[in-house]
Structure 1
């Protein structure tokens, strides 16, 4: 797993190094016979993802209490950033990586403040046919109301659902898709809030934070009231603005043709033709 540390302006504080190397180079115990270290406490991030999805992580670390971190410029920095990728290839639609609760760079102890889980969905065959969404977690330093974590703490599970939204772009009105992911409530319905929440530091060591993602069965238009649903499929409206892309529907509605990513000229989405399928 590769590790990167960035300042707020996005410039790396040190070259990309392997995780094992980072432990030896940090402010840990070193002995003549080799690198003898006390690894930082970690927790596991595990994501169950739909087909053609993956999840990576971005963690922000801030100086510990009373610490002042200095970058290569000699100026203090406020945030160190680590990037995490799955430790193994996506197997059975599950990805996993470990996140340390503390980190040391340039002799400066830092503590985990935030974790972003980057959700990437592939909607087409081309590499660029993808879209991104995210889940976010803040790390609370306050003691949890729960009992202290045991030697085998239970997993914290966060459920989310992703929705593919379609629209047209450019003068040829080619279909593109945008990924939107939201939290799923106790009733199983998608909510307006983002996936994520607050994690308590005293409950995290050696625990698992689990993200369970699903995908809505039906796609929806990206722009509300710019498409009309018919028995054959969705039809993009032509309005009063004279733009190339779909417009706000008027009464009576008028429609535009568009192109599928494979180049087909179509009148309804996703069936392409008026004939019901």
Structure 2
């Protein structure tokens, strides 16, 4: 299919190849956002999911760079990467995070050039953060994913980056996502680390849902693992 838009030819619906190398128990989908290729007003988006089995550690998605909807020609402007990690056996034991790719028509200071051959690679790391929830203090986990620089140093920014539209068709962008080896507290002033693991601060008492450590770093309270076990230290449960 071919069409022309305001002096700019969109010869064929071209695609960007996206790959994601994922840790175990992670999956990813993409939400692609489009703007009109001319002065028309016809923005839109679509969710693109992998048809590969859940648990596949190399996900591949084909992201259309152009599309035509009801006579309106649109071009890809950005991609939101929806990352889902499973931390427990229950369906609700999941953490969600996002990354992003943006398509630029002009270079900027942060625009990444493609290498002469091979994919353009972005690095990221996901960190599980644990906390207690509710009056029985059940352990739950929060997922936080951030970009890594070329030296493997965690950045404050989300994973992804920007790239030039010119020459993008048919190229491959790859996200290599790793998982931090050690879990950390979601709230730093709730836990104190000992050789046997993390202990939950007592705070003002067992009924203190906040349970901050400040003012009391000697008394600790039990909590429950997701499977119902009563524990005193995380993640080993008992000392």
Q: Secondary structure at the match of 1:225?
A: helix
TM (normalized to structure 1)? 0.76
Moved more, 81-90 or 181-190: 81-90
1:67 Cα deviation after fit? 1.7
> 1:144–1:228: structure 2 CA closer, same or farther, 3 Å change rule?
closer
Q: Secondary structure at the match of 1:202?
A: coil
Is the Cα–Cα contact under 8 Å of residues 134 and 181 in structure 1 kept in the other structure?
yes
User: Residue 273 of structure 1 corresponds to which residue in structure 2?
Assistant: 238
Is the Cα–Cα contact under 8 Å of residues 153 and 207 in structure 1 kept in the other structure?
no
User: Residue 57 of structure 1 corresponds to which residue in structure 2?
Assistant: 30
Structure 2: which 5+ residue stretches go unaligned?
3-10
Cα distance in 1, alignment partners of residues 205 and 216 from structure 2 = 15
User: Residue 110 of structure 1 corresponds to which residue in structure 2?
Assistant: 74
Is the Cα–Cα contact under 8 Å of residues 87 and 96 in structure 1 kept in the other structure?
no
1:242 Cα deviation after fit? 6.9
Q: Secondary structure at the match of 2:80?
A: strand
> 1:228–1:110: structure 2 CA closer, same or farther, 3 Å change rule?
same
Is the Cα–Cα contact under 8 Å of residues 99 and 158 in structure 2 kept in the other structure?
yes
Q: Larger % of strand: which?
A: 2
For this pair of structures, how many residues does the alignment match? 228
Residue in structure 2 matching 1:249, options 204, 208, 213:
213
Moved more, 189-198 or 93-102: 189-198
What RMSD, in angstroms, separates the aligned Cα atoms of the two structures?
2.4
Is the Cα–Cα contact under 8 Å of residues 189 and 214 in structure 2 kept in the other structure?
no
Is the Cα–Cα contact under 8 Å of residues 36 and 74 in structure 2 kept in the other structure?
yes
Structure 1: which 5+ residue stretches go unaligned?
1-27, 30-37, 70-78
TM (normalized to structure 2)? 0.87
Residue in structure 1 matching 2:154, options 190, 193, 209:
190
